[in-house]
Chain A
């Protein structure tokens, strides 16, 4: 038994003493592909709407509310799914957000918002998290689809083109400053700027 452990330890410490260098390189390469591929695949699975609404907290509240909005049903049939707006697309930011999401797993396990009432009680805080994130990154997740450079002001209504060509153009405001609650219902907005 002791011998077996010793051999095992020495294999780990100096593998090249037991296996050929070629086998180690090729083996390491293949293992790398499997692990990286597996990690990425798992990450992408958690980045789908089906995964998000597999929890009833998401399906019964935010997903249900989204169904009537223009980001779900519209003339052109292009629609946004949960991760399009709620997960950054750049890799490092995405990983950072995924790490934050571990708190959401905690919340799911302990039923922080497992009833509609609890969800409504938490709604302002949850909304503020998203507003803060979008404000900090200049509404990046909006701009992944809605690119300011290609906006045709003449196609917009007068009010919209006025606001977009002034406040948005000079960077005084970002999308989320005005477009709060476009895909979900709003919390009580008392004290929120612009309300």
Chain B
């Protein structure tokens, strides 16, 4: 009788645990596909140190790049190595501020940078817009790790009107 009880408990346990085990296995499989997508480590096993990729160069062509949507902060088309933006100085503003653009021929930071949150214009760049690199970044000459499927509004509208014509 005792033996029968044990057998019942064991079989119940097997029934209860097997789906969990199965799902664990499935998770591992999923993880594998996730890991194969893209990281800087590629598919290097966890216990192996990967030879690091070469550091890509900063794009320094001084050619304006397009914006993907109207509110996108423009990207920086030049190197900014050791440009100081701190409590004391803002190196970016030594070219891009209103009173420097004539000499430097750099684009002036947009007028919104001089506005405070109430929409009043200040004489200097507003403190909340002071740290340029919060929004504006240089670009590296590198291949994207993950494909980007972003489509901007204009392309969408164009596609739609094309579809309507047919």
Q: Which of A20-28, A50-58, A143-151, A182-190 contacts B (4 or more CB under 8 A)?
A: A182-190
Partner of B88, one of A70, A157, A189, A194: A189
Task: Sort chain A's interface into a size bin.
Answer: 10 to 19
Taken residue by residue from 101 to 137, chain B's Cβ proximity to chain A (1 for < 8 Å, 0 otherwise) reads as 0010100000000000000000000000000000000
Partner of B62, one of A70, A158, A188, A195: A158
Partner of B82, one of A70, A159, A194: A70
Query: Does A69 reach chain B (CB closer than 8 Å)?
Result: yes
Query: Does A9 reach chain B (CB closer than 8 Å)?
Result: no
Taken residue by residue from 70 to 97, chain A's Cβ proximity to chain B (1 for < 8 Å, 0 otherwise) reads as 1000000000000000000000000000
Query: Does B89 reach chain A (CB closer than 8 Å)?
Result: yes
Question: What residues on B are CB-neighbors of A162 within 8 Å?
Answer: 105
Give the complex CA separation of A189 and B90 in angstroms: 9
Partner of B89, one of A70, A158, A188: A188
Give the complex CA separation of A137 and B133 in angstroms: 36
Closest Cβ–Cβ distance, residue A181 to chain B (whole Å): 7
Closest Cβ–Cβ distance, residue A47 to chain B (whole Å): 26
Closest Cβ–Cβ distance, residue A26 to chain B (whole Å): 57
Partner of A186, one of B61, B84, B103: B84
A189 touches B82 (CB 8 A): no
Closest Cβ–Cβ distance, residue B60 to chain A (whole Å): 5
A187 touches B88 (CB 8 A): yes
* Count of interface residues, chain B, beta-carbon cutoff 8 Å: 14
Q: Which partner residue on chain A sits nearest B94 by CB separation?
A: A195
Give the complex CA separation of A33 and B102 in angstroms: 59
- Assuming the contacts A186-B89, A195-B89, asked whether A159 and B84 have C-beta atoms less than 8 A apart, the reply is no
**Which one of B82, B93, B100 has the highest number of Cβ atoms from chain A below 10 Å of its Cβ?**
B82
Query: Does B2 reach chain A (CB closer than 8 Å)?
Result: no
Query: Does B78 reach chain A (CB closer than 8 Å)?
Result: yes
Closest Cβ–Cβ distance, residue A168 to chain B (whole Å): 13
Partner of A157, one of B60, B94, B105: B60
Query: Does A11 reach chain B (CB closer than 8 Å)?
Result: no
Query: Does A115 reach chain B (CB closer than 8 Å)?
Result: no
21 CB < 8 A contacts A-B: A68-B82, A69-B82, A70-B81, A70-B82, A157-B62, A159-B62, A159-B78, A181-B84, A181-B89, A186-B84, A186-B88, A186-B89, A187-B88, A188-B88, A188-B89, A189-B88, A189-B89, A194-B94, A194-B100, A194-B103, A195-B89
